[in-house]
């Protein structure tokens, strides 16, 4: 049987896959912290709800595939992949598709995600975005 922390993380991933920023905000602790794959940190539920909405605008088909989930009390690790098509200057064209193996660390407290951290090699994503924006 899955722990309550795992169920919260699965609900968070389901909200990501629906691209539902409001549902994500409901699952975040008030002092939620997000850390991206480059180590940049953003704190606060409201800031992250806005951030997710913008991310979904840029990646309208973004989805997380969770293959393995392990947990110890409120600490949950997810291993799988992420994919989405960047909708930049060229729009969501096939050349802007980004797919990568990824992992996530979640800290769940009182039924909410307090910390969500992404681990992924964003090199290809950065290259695709730079190319779309006409940067070398």
Question: Residue 114 belongs to a domain with what CATH number?
Answer: 3.10.450.50
Q: What are the phi and psi torsion angles at 101 (to 5°)?
A: -65, 150
DSSP lists the bridge partners of residue 43 as: 33
| Under 8 Å between Cβ of 61 and 87 | no
Domain that holds residue 128: 4-132
Prediction pTM value: 0.94
Q: In angstroms, rounded to a whole number, what is the distance separating the alpha carbons of residues 97 and 43?
A: 28
Number of independent structural domains in the chain: 1
pLDDT in tens, 25-71: 999 999 999 999 999 999 999 999 999 999 999 999 999 999 999 99
Q: In angstroms, rounded to a whole number, what is the distance separating the alpha carbons of residues 34 and 45?
A: 9
Residues in the chain: 136
Burial of 86 (0-12, 13-18, 19+ CB in 10 A): buried
pLDDT in tens, 116-136: 999 999 999 999 999 998 887
Q: Minimal CA–CA distance to 56: which of 93, 15, 104? A: 15
What is the pLDDT, as a whole number, of residue 66? 98
């Amino acid at each position: 049987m899955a722990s309550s922390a795992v169920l919260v993380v699965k609900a968070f991933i389901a909200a990501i896959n629906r691209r539902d920023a409001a549902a994500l905000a409901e699952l975040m602790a008030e002092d939620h912290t997000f850390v991206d794959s480059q180590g940049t940190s953003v704190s606060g539920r409201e800031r992250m709800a806005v951030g997710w909405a913008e991310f979904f605008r840029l990646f309208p088909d973004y989805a997380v595939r969770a293959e393995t989930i392990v947990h110890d009390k409120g600490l949950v690790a997810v291993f799988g992949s992420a994919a989405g098509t960047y909708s930049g200057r060229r729009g969501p064209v096939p050349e802007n598709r980004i797919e990568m193996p990824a992992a996530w660390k979640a800290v769940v407290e009182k039924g909410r995600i307090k910390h969500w951290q992404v681990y992924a090699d964003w090199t290809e994503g950065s290259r695709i975005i730079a190319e779309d924006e006409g940067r070398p």
